[in-house]
Amino acid sequence: MTHSILHIDTSIKPEGSMSKTLTRDIVARLQGAHPDSSVTYRDLAAHPLPETDAAWIAAISVPAEDRSPEQADIAALSDRLIEEVRNADTIVIGLPVYNFNIPSQLKVWLDLLARPGEAFRYTEEGPEGLIKGPRAIIAYASNGTRIGSDIDFASTYMRHILGFFGITDVQFVASDHFAIDADSSVKAANDDIAGLAA
């Protein structure tokens, strides 16, 4: 069976991006283990997604059969993004840390996924994620915000929101002190990649 990979980059750097380097290496490792794999790629900085707004809320709040043509067009992109996540065996996400948190481009993608009845639902026992199949590997890249530190709001948010969607198998590859010691930062990330179960 084909192994489906969803590859998401979010760095605003057109060149020299550590998170892009890491996601590329992670995908290459997965492809080496699964020669028949397929890859769906999105560069959210090069091709930004539209932010959620009042028109988006209105479009997703009515049943599909009752949407106007304009509402159907608005909801279609969100539908497609959710299907990409649902159909993935592994999601590889580039996470450059900007000002201690995730890039705005990545937040927009997550907002477009965060639809009640599609990505999650509320029950008497609390929220339940509805996307339970994929595994996520996140390439965490920072000049000095150490992963898991008190000032790291990026990795904790990603683990929480993906878990909220039902994606609980979340792993991190981290180059988190590049400006302090580039060599050891890159080595740590490469060691993480080498230790991944493909």
22-50, pLDDT tens digit by residue?
A: 999 999 999 999 999 999 999 999 999 99
Number of domains observed in the structure of the chain: 1
Q: What residues have CB less than 8 Å from 40, skipping those under 6 apart?
A: 4, 5, 6, 7, 84, 88
State pTM to two decimals: 0.96
Estimate to the nearest angstrom the gap between the alpha carbon of 69 and the chain centroid.
29
Q: Which domain holds residue 167?
A: 4-194
Rounded Cα distance between 94 and 81, Å, is 16
Rounded Cα distance between 34 and 88, Å, is 14
Q: Is the pLDDT of residue 78 over 80?
A: yes
Binding residues for FMN: 11, 17-19
Cβ of 105: how many Cβ atoms within 10 Å?
A: 22
Closest CA to 93 of 175, 37, 20: 20
Q: What is the pLDDT of residues 90-149, one digit of tens each?
A: 999 999 999 999 999 999 999 999 999 999 999 999 999 999 999 999 999 999 999 999
Rounded Cα distance between 71 and 146, Å, is 42
Binding residues: 11, 17-19
pLDDT band at 164 (very low <50, low <70, confident <90, very high): very high
**What local confidence, expressed as pLDDT, does residue 191 receive?**
95
Q: Is the pLDDT of residue 1 over 80?
A: no
**What local confidence, expressed as pLDDT, does residue 198 receive?**
72
What's the CATH number where 83 sits? 3.40.50.360
Angle of helix 182-194 relative to helix 18-33, nearest 10 degrees? 20
